[in-house]
């Protein structure tokens, strides 16, 4: 059994990416990983917030780290954005002593202190490096051979780093797909940007980026895409219809969370993993594998 | 203690005072950041130009630029910059300064979105997506809210819209607010 403190983030807890959170927990349990949710966590301090009020955003983020420090375990999140923000708070506090003093004073107002010892990790890192691909491969119960999967990393799981994988041509997700028995397809833009939260205020810009990504994934022969971030999944899946409308394209490629694919390989069901929540339905391409 | 006779800070000094902004001094204007940026073509000034303009003291032009608001924090510039400058952090620093000086920016809606986001964090500690989006569209452009209705409906149909916001326990909510109130008294990063 391995133990971690778990930070789901707003989207995966009960936002649009609920299925990410629930499939992450289901898969972790099946792999003998105990993810204990950080009690009374708040928003990670998210990027949009960083731009408006730096200190408040760092303090928001630091409250989570201070709470996590009391438990003394690595803090794991499935959200790439939370991962970057929480890591950035750590490195900012380390690099800028004056800031550390200010954040310390603010935390003290809430009877908290933070000593900078929490290691922030992404769930993908835990699966690939702590549990290990051999172990995961040994738990595979369903034959996924022939399923062509595009590994979409996006940005923040590998950048700015230092991270557990290469910042521009990462491999961990490719290897995970292979260890599940499926096929990782070539995907030149696999670590390029989906537009992130710009999809709300500047939809056109983000749709342009999503269009390029979908084109790159489909061009590599993929039948589905897997992601490691709720924002990426939302942009590629929920907005796929808007891309089709804007660019007169005909994409119809399902976008799953990587935990859903792991769960499938381990024999879990579509419902159990929340796969029916994908806007672009994945049931059809998966049907053959479920019945095998 | 600041006194009134002090000369006001230059733009570069202000940027340097924000953690992450100090890199601006080391830029060699190679343009790697602009060439890497997925959104450079949408920006009125590329990241490299913005840096040059800031160093030339073009305060108005820099702080009213739309460039930083088009930054998606993809960090590609940051991992490629030969001087380890972290242009992403520079973009954040400029956003902060722009907001601080409340120069209104009519060429992008992003600042409004960010504002609505932080309103939520302050008041309840988390971001309910439905509430957040509604709030944002109402603040920016109510007509867009209507255009987005089909998308919202399809999310609802797939069980991906929660109407209720996740709330912290009252004592946790109080704790967060005490921390943020203190942060406000401490007055920002620089
Ligand atoms: S990549 Fe770095 S050194 Fe080159 S122009 Fe951009 S910030 Fe300056
Ligand atoms: S982090 Fe921002 S400025 Fe840098 S390349 Fe990405 S979008 Fe452009």
Quick one: pLDDT at residue B115? 60
Is residue B30 a part of any domain in this protein?
yes
Q: How far is A109 from chain B (nearest CA, A)?
A: 5
Domain range holding B78? 11-100
Range of the domain at A14: 2-122
Q: Could you tell me which residues come within 8 angstroms of residue A201 by beta carbon, excluding any fewer than 6 positions away?
A: B69, B108, B109, B110, B112, B113, B136, B140
Do A152 and A283 lie in one domain? The reply is yes
Q: Is there a single domain that holds both residue A151 and residue A271?
A: yes
From B80, B100, B120, give the residue that closes a domain. B100
Which of A8, A23, A42 is the mutation pick for testing B, counting most B CBs within 10 A? A42
Q: Distance between CA atoms of B122 and B120, rounded to whole angstroms?
A: 5
Identify whether residues A235 and A159 lie together within a single domain. Answer: yes
More confident residue, A110 or B152: A110
Are A145 and A286 members of one domain? yes
Query: pLDDT tens digits, residue range A128-173?
Result: 999 999 999 999 999 999 999 999 999 999 999 999 999 999 999 9
Res A51: pLDDT: 56
For residue B33 and ligand 1, the question of a CB distance below 6 A is answered with yes
Placement of tokens 């959104």 in the chain: B39
CA dist list (Å): A133 to A90, A128, B111: 29, 6, 43
Pair (A118, A179) in one structural domain: no
Q: How many domains does chain B have?
A: 2
**pLDDT tens-digit map of B128-159:** 555 555 555 555 555 555 566 666 667 767 77
B184 C-beta neighbours (distance < 10 Å), count: 15
| Shared-domain flag, residues A144 and A118 | no
Predicted pLDDT at A46: 72
Count of CB atoms situated within 10 Å of the CB of B142 = 10
Q: Are residues A180 and A244 in the same domain?
A: yes
The partner residue sitting opposite A10, judged by closest CB among B18, B78, B127, is B127
Asked whether residue B27 is assigned to any structural domain, the reply reads yes
The CA distance from B22 to B24, in Å, is: 5
Q: Are residues A280 and A146 in the same domain?
A: yes
Query: CA-CA distance, A222 to A220, in Å (whole number)?
Result: 6
Q: Are residues B72 and B120 in the same domain?
A: no
Q: What is the pLDDT of residue B163?
A: 53
Task: Give B-chain residues touching A196 at CB under 8 angstroms.
Answer: 72-74
Together in a domain, A164 and A250? yes
Nearest-by-Cβ selection for B121 from A60, A238, A277: A60
Q: Domains in chain A: how many in total?
A: 2
Out of B39, B68, B100, a domain closes at: B100
Is residue B68 domain-resident?
Answer: yes
A42: distance to nearest CA of chain B, Å?
A: 5
Which pLDDT score, from 0 to 100, does residue A59 have?
93
- Which residue in B180, B181, B185, B190 has the most chain A C-beta atoms within 10 A of its own C-beta, making it the best mutation to test that interface? B180
User: Is B135 inside a domain boundary?
Assistant: yes
Q: Can you give the CATH number for the domain in which B96 is found?
A: 1.10.1060.10
Note the pLDDT of residue A131.
97
Buried b (16+ CB within 10 A) or exposed e, A147-162: bbbbbbbbbbbbbbee
Domain final residue, candidates B77, B100, B123 = B100
CA A71 to chain centre: 23
CATH of the domain at A184: 3.40.50.11810
């Amino acid at each position: 059994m391995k133990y971690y403190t778990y930070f789901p983030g707003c989207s995966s807890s009960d936002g649009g990416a609920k299925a990410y959170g629930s499939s992450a927990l289901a898969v972790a349990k099946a792999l003998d990983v105990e993810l204990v949710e950080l009690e009374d966590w708040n928003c990670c301090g998210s990027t949009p917030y960083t731009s408006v009020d730096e200190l408040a955003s760092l303090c928001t983020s630091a409250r989570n780290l201070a709470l996590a420090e009391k438990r003394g375990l690595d803090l794991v999140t499935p959200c790439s954005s939370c991962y970057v923000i929480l890591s950035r708070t750590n490195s900012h506090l380390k690099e800028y002593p004056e800031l550390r003093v200010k954040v310390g004073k603010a935390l003290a107002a809430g009877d908290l202190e933070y000593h900078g010892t929490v290691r922030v990790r992404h769930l993908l890192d835990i699966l690939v490096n702590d549990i290990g691909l051999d172990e995961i491969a040994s738990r595979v119960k369903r034959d996924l051979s022939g399923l062509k999967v595009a590994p979409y990393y996006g940005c923040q799981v590998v950048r700015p780093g230092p991270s557990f994988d290469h910042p521009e041509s990462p491999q961990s997700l490719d290897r995970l797909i292979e260890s599940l028995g499926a096929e990782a397809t070539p995907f030149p833009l696999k670590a390029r940007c989906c537009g992130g939260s710009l999809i709300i205020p500047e939809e056109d810009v983000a749709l342009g980026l999503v269009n390029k990504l979908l084109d790159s994934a489909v061009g590599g022969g993929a039948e589905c895409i897997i992601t490691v971030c709720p924002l990426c999944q939302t942009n590629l899946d929920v907005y796929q219809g808007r891309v089709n409308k804007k660019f007169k394209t005909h994409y119809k490629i399902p976008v799953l969370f990587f935990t859903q694919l792991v769960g499938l390989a381990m024999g879990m069901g579509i419902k159990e993993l929340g796969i029916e929540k994908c806007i672009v339905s994945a049931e059809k391409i998966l049907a053959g594998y479920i019945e095998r | 203690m600041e006194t009134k006779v002090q000369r006001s800070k230059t733009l570069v000094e202000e940027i340097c005072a924000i953690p992450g902004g100090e890199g601006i001094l080391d830029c060699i204007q190679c343009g790697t950041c602009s060439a890497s940026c997925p959104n450079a073509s949408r920006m009125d000034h590329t990241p490299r130009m913005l840096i040059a303009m800031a160093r030339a003291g073009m305060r108005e032009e820099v702080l009213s630029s739309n460039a930083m608001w088009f930054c998606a924090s993809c960090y590609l510039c940051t991992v490629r910059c030969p001087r380890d400058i972290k242009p992403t952090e520079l973009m954040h620093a400029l956003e902060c300064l722009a907001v601080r000086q409340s120069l209104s920016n009519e060429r992008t809606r992003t600042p409004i979105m960010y504002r609505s986001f932080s309103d939520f964090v302050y008041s309840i500690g988390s971001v309910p997506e439905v509430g957040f989006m509604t709030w944002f569209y109402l603040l920016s452009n109510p007509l867009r809210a209507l255009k987005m209705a089909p998308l919202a409906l399809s999310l609802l149909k797939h069980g991906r819209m929660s109407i209720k916001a996740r709330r912290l326990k009252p004592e946790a909510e109080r704790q967060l607010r005490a921390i943020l109130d203190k942060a406000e008294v401490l007055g920002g990063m620089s």
